[in-house]
Amino acid sequence: MKLTITDQALKKLMEINNEEQLLLALTYDTEGCGCGVNGMPTITLIKEQTANQHQVECEQAQTVVQHQQAVFFNKDMKLDYNGATFRLSSPEEMLNPFISVQAVQQTME
């Protein structure tokens, strides 16, 4: 699995990152969706990697994904920022076009 972060997205991630080290997590948000297979791929900033997470190939920032959630992501993805929200996409599809800055920051608090 590979993630490319655009310059605009990386700049915004660095701006909202409250910690010295950026650790980005790809997550599959199922809150309010009814069951574990209904959800939305998203991103969050986290403080440290857990044992059930593994590294995602990404040159711009250390990125992880939970082993069980990796199936919900594509092999090649791009994270962009359009001035208001982050967008997670792949050559095949748009995974999540509306990832709010607040959602990315929520685990940092």
Tens of pLDDT, residue by residue over 40-87, are 899 999 888 999 999 999 999 999 999 999 999 999 999 999 999 999
- Phi and psi at residue 67, to the nearest 5°: -55, -45
Least confident of 2-11, 22-31, 87-96: 22-31
Report the 10 Å Cβ neighbour count for 80. 18
In the chain, the domains with their CATH numbers are: 2-108 (2.60.300.12)
Q: Which run of H or E residues covers position 104?
A: helix 101-105
Spatial CA neighbour of 43 closest among 1, 92, 97, 109: 97
- Phi and psi at residue 106, to the nearest 5°: -55, -35
Does the pLDDT at position 100 exceed 60?
yes
With H, G, I as helix, E, B as strand and everything else as coil, classify residue 78: strand
